[in-house]
Structure 1
Amino acid sequence: MAELVSLDGIKKACDVLYSNPDIIQTPLLCHVQNMFPKIDQDVDLYLKLENMQTTGSFKIRGVTNQMEHLPPEVRDGSGEAVTFSAGNYGKAFAYCMSKKGLKGLVLMPHTAPDDRVDMINSFGLEARKVPSHEIYEHVKKCVADGYILLHSFDDVNLVTGYGSIAMEILKVVPDPDVVAVCCGGGGLVAGVAAGLKLSGCKDCRVYAVEPTGAPTLYESFKAGHAVTIPGVKSVATGLMPPCAGEIPYKICKQYLEEVLLVSDEEMVESMKILYDRGLKVEPAGSAAFTALAQGRIKDVKGKKVVIVVTGGNITPPELAKLIG
């Protein structure tokens, strides 16, 4: 899979990211199993806190690297970019584009909260809500009208940017046994898995975790190719694109141990557990922790288990509505 992602590519992405003052090398909490009574105390637990990243999620890592490889017509302002996002990618995209003084259009599903729309607009980009099941048709129409598509997950520059998380994990835990990562379009878990495996962690088991209502990578693994699932639905809006990315699927197929599923109710329970320990985490951000807490990850006794907590973009009213 060298033609898609390489260790050299990930290291170059790290150079790009760490030369940018907006990128934070987020904390990795070590040996924290005793914080969570529901977790098997024989597990050596680590939490990688991407909810503390700039713009509130891991997305800015990939977007910063994506910005380094902008098409010339977008970079010079002669053309306008279009993308699509339920929130976190759109926020990071708008933030990075505005820093460059560039304009763009972010198509959002009609279910996206209005505050996400307002936030993207505040960066000087246009956010436009469309019916969720029509979002790809709107993307195609925009491209036909002259917009340049910057994909929100099926992009190798995003994947290599996300690989920086693996590099940071390995600085602290050079020999993890298990790493669990949430999965929407698959770009994040593809980057983390590639970074770990290409760095020599051949025996590390990397798991993707999806909602039961949006199991696109799970079904892709069963089908043997990236699939589309109409009508995906989950409280974890960041994990419910209607398809798995072609590029992430190919990388995940090579490096992942398994795709695990968790329910909305289980993710909300994990949000409350994390909140009670001082961590504000959105539903999507709690997915990997949920897989461990619910016993979905097997053979963890005595193992070094790293959970990537991916985002904390949730307002106090939204949080109160979910966890009370």
Structure 2
Amino acid sequence: MTSTPPVTLEDVRDAAARIEGVAHRTPVLRSRTLDSLAGAEVFLKCENLQRVGAFKFRGAYNAASRLSSEQLARGIAAYSSGNHAQAVALAARELGTTAVILMPEDTPRSKLEATAGYGAQIVTYDRYTGDRVALGEALAAERGLTLIPPYEHPHIIAGQGTAALELIEEVGELDALVAPVGGGGLIAGSATAAKALLPGIRVIGVEPEAGDDTRRSLEAEGRVSIPVPRTIADGLAAETPGELTFSVNRRLVDEIVLVDDDRIRDAMRLAFERLKTVVEPSGAAALAAVLAGLPKPLPSRVGVIVSGGNVGAQRFAELLGS
């Protein structure tokens, strides 16, 4: 007997209706230069232009907007390396409640400042010695807050899937959809929408070479843990896939490809110099893969989710060696 999937296309469409008018319907960017370099027609879904500068606002608002009035009155909590933090902080402000966010001490300053700017209280921890899930759950319990996890929740996954839903609604047929993989929420939601709308599409996940926990888990047919990854793509630095997200991704994701930090830098540089758009390291991972011709062979029409653009000017210059 086939079990019911935790997230369906109907859930993604319901999330799309809920975030309409609150989240941006982000543009799809085309470039003849990019097509020539990739050897394919490439369609970039620019979530770097989403509110808070990343796709995370989709899922955060979808989840937070479903809380009861009593839960909203008490406030919400989250743990995040940056983009989910900003997303929950903004969702809280939009819904008239407060947010407390647990963030790593080494989170890029631009993300710390942006999260605080949306009105959230920030509590920091050491990502290399602390368990953020345990710390986040303890923080929420201690203060009586509702915890909104970054990816381990059906409403989060469904919300993230609206990015792929919009992309396919706009461009039609695609041979492949390429998305970055951290905890797995974005690709789980995207794969749910894409496979339902385009049954023949290949869904390709991209991880940094230093953080290939999902690739290893898919090969092992079970969740694998790795040491805390050290990569410029801080938003993809997961130690193990989420249990819920992995249950989706092991069914729907066709392949995981890896890119190193140098390829990510090259993708950031190309996006800035040739496409005139700023992309953070994690957000550039999927573009980096396509520029490297991954997966091989690269299909003819490829959708790429550019997942975020939250990088400060100084950090951007440092990464590109200026």
> How many angstroms apart in 1 are the aligned matches of 2:47 and 2:141?
36
Give CA deviations for 1:224-263 in whole Å, capped at 9, x if unaligned. 2233323222101111132211111111111111111111
> How many angstroms apart in 2 are the aligned matches of 1:139 and 1:64?
19
**1:25 matched to which residue of 2?**
25
**1:295 matched to which residue of 2?**
293
**1:45 matched to which residue of 2?**
42
Matching residue within 95, 100, 104 for 1:105: 100
> How many angstroms apart in 1 are the aligned matches of 2:19 and 2:51?
12
| Paired residues of 2:80 and 2:102 also in contact (CA < 8 A) | yes
Give CA deviations for 1:140-184 in whole Å, capped at 9, x if unaligned. 422442443211111110111112122212223322001100111
> How many angstroms apart in 2 are the aligned matches of 1:307 and 1:180?
5
> How many angstroms apart in 2 are the aligned matches of 1:195 and 1:2?
15
With over 3 angstroms needed to count, the CA separation of the structure-2 counterparts of 1:68 and 1:80, relative to structure 1, is closer
> How many angstroms apart in 2 are the aligned matches of 1:261 and 1:17?
32
* Structure 2 portions without partners, runs of 5+: none
> How many angstroms apart in 2 are the aligned matches of 1:288 and 1:115?
22
**1:137 matched to which residue of 2?**
134
Matching of residues 78-227 of structure 1 within 5 Å:
79-132=74-127, 133-134=129-130, 135-145=132-142, 146-199=144-197, 201-227=198-224
- Would you say how many aligned residue pairs link Structure 1 and Structure 2? 315
Give CA deviations for 1:109-147 in whole Å, capped at 9, x if unaligned. 121123322322222221111010312332242244244
> How many angstroms apart in 1 are the aligned matches of 2:44 and 2:28?
6
Shift >6 Å, 4+ stretches: none
Give the deviation of 1:218 after TM superposition.
Answer: 1.2
- Say whether residues 1:244 and 2:246 are aligned partners: no
**2:315 matched to which residue of 1?**
318
* Structure 1 portions without partners, runs of 5+: none
**2:61 matched to which residue of 1?**
64
Matching residue within 15, 18, 35 for 1:16: 18
Give CA deviations for 1:16-75 in whole Å, capped at 9, x if unaligned. 111xx3311111124x343465322xx122111111111111111111111122255422
* TM-score between both structures, scaled by the size of structure 2: 0.92
The answer to which of 287-296 and 219-228 deviates more is 219-228
With over 3 angstroms needed to count, the CA separation of the structure-2 counterparts of 1:228 and 1:292, relative to structure 1, is same
RMSD, aligned α-carbons: 1.7
**SS of the residue 1:136 aligns to:** helix
> How many angstroms apart in 2 are the aligned matches of 1:101 and 1:229?
39
**2:306 matched to which residue of 1?**
309
Give the deviation of 1:97 after TM superposition.
Answer: 0.3
